[in-house]
Structure formats: C-alpha cells, structure tokens
Amino acid sequence: MENLGVGKVLLVEDDERLAALIAHFLTQHGFEVRAVHRGDVALAAFLEFKPRVVVLDLMLPGQSGLHVCREIRAISDIPIVILTAKEDDLDHILGLESGADDYVIKPIKPPVLLARLRALQRRQVPQDSVRGALEFGRLVIDRSCREVRLGAQVIDLTTMEFELLWLLASAAGTLLSRDDILNRMRGIAFDGLNRSVDVYISKLRGKLNDNPREPVCIKTIWGKGYLFNPFAWEV
C-alpha cells in the first residue's frame, strides 16, 4: 500500500458553505484539507491528492456517496468517514456495508468530527513502530505489516475490520460486549441502536469463512456480545 500523507483529508461535501466551515476548522487543528463538491470528481481527487482519510457526504450530485465509498474502498483501505443527515439506522448500515469506517450525523459538530479523525489517526500507527503477531492455527494476524493470512490466503480487510479483528483476537476466549468494543474502537458507548459492530462482525465472518448461521470462529453470545474462539482455526 502506498504511503499516504499524514494529516491530509479529502472532504467530499456538496454544501460549499458547510465544506468551507469544516475545512477551516480542521486546518486550524493541523490537517491539510482538499474539498470537492461532486461525487463524480471524488475518485480523481482522491488519486491526485492521496489523502490519509476521506470525509464523505452521502447525498451528492453526480454520484452518490455510497458509490464513491465503494470506488475508493476497491483500491484503498484508508479510513472513510461518512456524513449523513439521516438518523435512520439503515442508512448507517448501508454506509458501513459499502466500506466506511465511521459516520457522523448532521448537523455536524466540528469538534466531534475532529475527535473521530484523531481516533482514526491513532489507529494508523507507522508500521515500523508496531510489532507483534497473533497466531491461531491457520489464522495469522500480523500487526507489523497489518496483514491477515488464513492458510496460504491473504485476507483483504479495511482499517476498521483489521482493528476489530485484532481487538477480538487479543482478547481470545474472553467475551466482549458491544459496549466494550465501541468504547475501545471509537471511544463512545453503545447506544442500543447502533448496529455498526454487528455489521463489522458480519463482514469479518464472511471474509474468514465463518458460517454466518452457525458461527464458530467469532461466536455471538446472545444479549451479551462476541467471543473470538482461539481453537476454531486449528487444522
């Protein structure tokens, strides 16, 4: 993966006044921001600007934010934060299913967005400062190169998927509630309606060949949370 510039944010937002406000606020806090206002120019801007993170509105002229999200995710695993005016849980799930790592609901509070971006930055630790790998039979999770291997197959994970898998695997055999997971991953408490953890767990199961109807690798403990089974990967 190409080394992307630290602190560079691509902001895709059709409301130019809001975009200017966000860009000004983030610039004051040390970010370099490039703003575009149409979905059909977002990918070209991404390739040219090489941001560290993308902040993406869902409702855009030219192409939808979901389409842009899928385009970027097809070629990069950098964090994507979606902006949505909808509080509908389904809207958030669609964004996460399209490859987004996080979301912020409009009207946007710039300090909240800043906190989310800084949290994502903290997860993007330079590879030479991170060491360690977890091995569970055929499954190897290598944090030094952020690579996951299942036997001879390299599993392609987004930033958030990798962090969630590392969190679960680091606590192998221990039950983690959704509250635990969200507090560690995003610094916020599970509100009872947020389904993002369930979405990411489902995506991980699919990529790791875990049976979604009767999962044995990442188990659901109903009403309590999730448990990573350290013995499921043995040959």
Q: Which of 217, 148, 223 is nearest to 179 (CA)?
A: 223
Say which CATH number the domain at 159 has.
1.10.10.10
Burial 147-161 (b: 16+ CB within 10 A, else e): ebebeeeebebbbbb
Task: Give the residues across from 57 on adjacent strands.
Answer: 83
CATH number of the domain encompassing residue 55: 3.40.50.2300
Out of 77, 92, 123, a domain closes at 123
Residues 26 and 94 in one domain: yes
Task: For residues 156 and 49, state if they share a domain.
Answer: no
pLDDT in tens, 95-136: 788 888 888 888 888 998 998 888 777 666 444 344 478 999
What is the pTM assigned to this prediction? 0.60
The answer to whether residue 222 sits within a structural domain is yes
10-48, pLDDT tens digit by residue? 999 999 999 999 999 999 998 999 999 999 999 999 999
Name the band, by pLDDT with cuts 50, 70 and 90, for residue 1.
very low
User: Are 105 and 196 within 8 A, CB to CB?
Assistant: no
Is residue 234 in a domain? Answer: no
Q: Are residues 25 and 117 in the same domain?
A: yes
C-alpha–C-alpha distance, residues 141 and 182, integer Å: 21
Mean pLDDT over the full length of the chain: 85
Tally of structural domains, the chain = 2
Residue 215, preceding bond cis, omega within 30 degrees?
no
Residue 159 belongs to what domain range? 127-228
Residue at which a domain ends, from 93, 123, 153: 123
